[in-house]
Amino acid sequence: MRVMDDNRIIRTEYSDLMQKSYIDYAMSVIVARALPDVRDGLKPVQRRTLYDMYELGIKYDKPFRKCARIVGDTMGKYHPHGDSSIYDALVVMAQDFKKGLPLIDGHGNFGNIEGDGAAAMRYTEARLQKITQETFLADLDKDVVDFIPNFDETEKEPSVLPVKIPNLLVNGSEGIAVGMATSIPPHNLGEVIDAMKAYMKDENITTRELMRYLKGPDFPTGGIVINESELLDIYETGVGKIKIRGKVQVEKAKGGKLNLVITEIPYPMIGANIAKFLSDIAALAESKKTMDIVDISNQSSKEGIRIVIELKKDTDVDNFTNMLYKKTRLEDTFGVNMLAISDGRPETMGLKQILKANVDFQFEIATRKYTTLLAKEREKKEIQEGLIKACNVIDLIIEILRGSKDRAMAKACLTEGIIDGIKFRSKESKIMATQLMFTEKQANAILEMRLYKLIGLEIEALINEHEETMSNIYSYEDILDRRDSMAQVIINELEEIKKEFSKPRKTELTNAEEAVFEERKIEEMDVYFLMDRFGYAKTIDVPTYERNKEAADAENKYIVKCKNTGRICIFTNMGQLHTIKVTDVPFGKFRDKGIPVDNISNYSANKETILCVASQTQLNLYRLLFVTKNAMTKVVDGGEFDVTKKLVAATKLNEDDELVDVTVLKEQRNIVLQTKEGYFLRFPIEEIPEKKKGAVGVRGMKMGEKDYIEAVYYTQNAVESSITYKNKKLILNNLKPGKRDTKGTKVRA
C-alpha cells in the first residue's frame, strides 16, 4: 500500500496498517470509553457528566435542572459521542437499585427495578447528590488534578476527579471494551472506608485481614451471597463468581394456605429478568413440574420488592424454595472481573491493589491540595505583615501618598525608598521614607487599603487573621513534611464521610449448601398432542379426545398420540428436526388455547414450514420417507431420530434444495411425485433405498430444467386414492406405473 505524505510516498504493508489502526481503535475504546479509572472509579462519560453539572452549578442545595440541558452541555463541551450514551450514564448514576451510592439526585421518571426505562431527557430533571459534591468534586479549584484539553481544545476538563473514597469498590462497574470486559460488584461505603483506613495504617496487611473490614459485596438489591468461603480467592485475584440468592419468607394466608414471599432478589435479576422469573415460575406450574402453586402476583412498589407465590396447604415449602433456586433465577451468579485503568493501561486487580491505588491517589491529591493552600497562606502572610507594618507607620505613609504626584512615585518610595519628587513635611519623615522596604505585593496592598482598615478593631482583626495564617502555614508544612500527619488528615476526612453517608449492609454473607429438591414423578399415561394451523399446541387426555374427536380432527392440523413422558418430533422444509418434551406442552381442557410451538422449541414460523409431526415412540417403530424439491428421495429408519437435543439436522440437503415431504411409512405401497409442470410418476416405495439421515438420497424423478416437485402422494394396494387436479378428479391408482428416476406421465387439464 502507498500512503501520500506531503510530496513523499510511503510504502507499507496493508495488514500492518490495519493492525495498527485496529489496535489504536481498541485502546481508544478501552481507555477512553468502556473501562473505569481505578482512582475515581468513573468512566469518561460519567466523569464528564458530573464535572459539567459542577460547572453549571447544579448543586445538591440548588434547584433541579432539565437533563436535556445537562446532556447537551456535556456533549457540546466534553463528550462528543451522542446524547443517548450520556443520558444513559446519567440515569444509571441516579438509580438507587443499580448503584449502592447514587451520585445524581433524579427528579421524575428514572426507570424502575423491573426494567422500565427512564422518561425522555426533556421531561426529567437532575442535580448533584450531596456526597458527590463534597466527596467527588471538592477541591477542584486547588490544583489537585491535571486538566486536559477537551476534544476541540476550546475547554479544559479534569483527567480524573479528586474522589476521596474508593468509588470503584463502592459503586462497582460494568463495561464491555474490545477483547475485555469489567464487572465489579458494589460494596458497603462504611466497610470500604474501614478497609482503606486499615491499609493506610499497615501497608503489609493481607487480603484476609482486609476482609475483616470489607466482608464482601453489598448489592443495592440485598439478597444472600451463599459462597462466602470463595470470596477471599476472588478478592486476591480479582476474578471469580459470586453466587447470590433472593431472600424469601413464609406468610400464613386464609384457609390454612401458605404464601412464599420474595422480598429481595439477586442483583443480576434487576430489569427484564424479573418478568422472566415470573414467567419461569408460571412455566413450572404449566408443565406440571410442580402442583403446589395456586397463584403468583407481583406486588412490588417503590417501597421494595414483594413477589407473592400462593401455595397449597400441604406444600413442602423448603423443597419448593429449593426448586426455585434450581429452576429459576432466584439463585444467580455475578461474574467478577475487577478490570480497571491503572497508569493508562487496563489491569485486573485484587482488593489490596485497588486500595493501594486509591491510597496513593489520596496522598497525591492531598500533597497538591496542601501545596496550593500553603502557597496561598504564604502570600496572605506577606500581605498581612506588610499591612501590620504599614499601620505602625501610617502617618508616614499618608504623608508619602499626599506628597506623591502619582501611584508609581508612591510605590517606588514604599518598595525602594526612592523619595525624588515627593514633598515631606519634615526631615525626619524624609529620612524614615528612605528606609521603607516593602515588597511589591505589600506595596500594592497598602495602596489599595481603605481608610476603614485603620479602625482599631480592624487592626486587631488583621493581627488575629495573621496569627491564624501563621497557624495554617505551620499546619500545612507539617502535613506536607510528615506522611503520618497527611495520613491522619485523610483518615479524618474518611471518618467524616462514613459518619454522614454510610448505611447498614443490605446483602447477607453465608456459606449455604447447594439447593436440592425432589422432583415430583410424573405418572406415565397416554395423551393426545394437538396443534392447529396457527401453530398453537396443547395436550389432552385420551377420554377428552375421544369425546371431542370430530371437533378435534376438524380444528387441528396435527394430532399425535404419545406418552406424556415422551417427545414430539417436528420435521421442517429446511431439513431440521425440532424435538419438544411433551411435559413442556400445556396439558388441560379441550377448549384451552395452547401455546405457540415457537415458545417451547427452536422452531421459527417465520423461517420454516412444518412438514411432519410424530411422536418419538412412533418413529422408533417405523421408517420415514424424505422427498426434496429437486426430487431427491430416501428412506430412513425412524430410530435415527431418537435424540434428546432440541434441534438436529434431519437430513442433508444440496444447495438451493429443500424438503417438500416427510412421511411416516406404515401401509403405503406406492409413491406419486407431481411436478409443477404437471408430470406425475407412480412407482413402488421399495425402489427407494434406505439411507442414513446424513445422506442426500437418490433421484426419484427426472425433470425439466426449471421444473420441481410440487406435491407428493401415496397409495395403498386395493384402496382407491384420488385427488382434485386442475378442477378434475384424478385417480392416482389409474396412473401408469413407472420406475424411479424416470420422467413420468404428463397429465393435461
In this structure, which amino acid lies at residue 214? Answer: L
Is the separation of the CB atoms in 582 and 617 below 8 Å?
no
CB neighbour burial string for 198-220, b if at least 16 within 10 angstroms, e if fewer: bbbeeeebebeebbebbbbbbbb
Q: How far is CA 272 from CA 98, 117, 184, 551, 602, in A?
A: 14, 11, 21, 40, 21
Residue type, 345: R
Quote the CA–CA distance of 61 and 104 in Å, as a whole number.
Answer: 12
Say which residue the cell 420415514 belongs to: 624
What's phi and psi for 311, nearest 5 deg? -115, 160
Across-strand partners of 745? 680
User: Within 13 Å, how many C-alpha atoms sit on residue 347's CB side?
Assistant: 14
Please give the grid coordinates belonging to residue 188.
458497603
Q: Give all strands of the β-sheet with 745-746 in edge-to-edge order.
A: 709-715, 670-675, 679-684, 745-746
Give the span between the Cα atoms of 168 and 187, in whole angstroms.
9
Q: Work out whether strand 728-731 and strand 670-675 pair parallel, antiparallel, or are unpaired.
A: unpaired
As a dihedral over the C-alpha atoms of residue 337, residue 342, residue 346, residue 349, rounded to 10 degrees, the angle is -30
Q: Beta strands of 512-575 (E only): which ranges?
A: 526-531, 536-541, 558-563, 567-572
Given the DSSP bridges, would you call strands 526-531 and 558-563 parallel, antiparallel or unpaired?
antiparallel
Q: Residue-wise over 622-636: b if at least 16 C-beta within 10 A, else e?
A: ebbbbbbbbbbbbbb
Q: How far is residue 39's CA from residue 350's CA, in Å, rounded to a whole number?
A: 14
Quick check: 355 and 166 in contact, CB under 8 A? yes
Q: Active site includes 123?
A: yes
Quote the longest CA-to-CA distance of the chain: 150
Q: Which one from 22, 25, 123, 474 is the annotated catalytic residue?
A: 123
Catalytic residues: 123
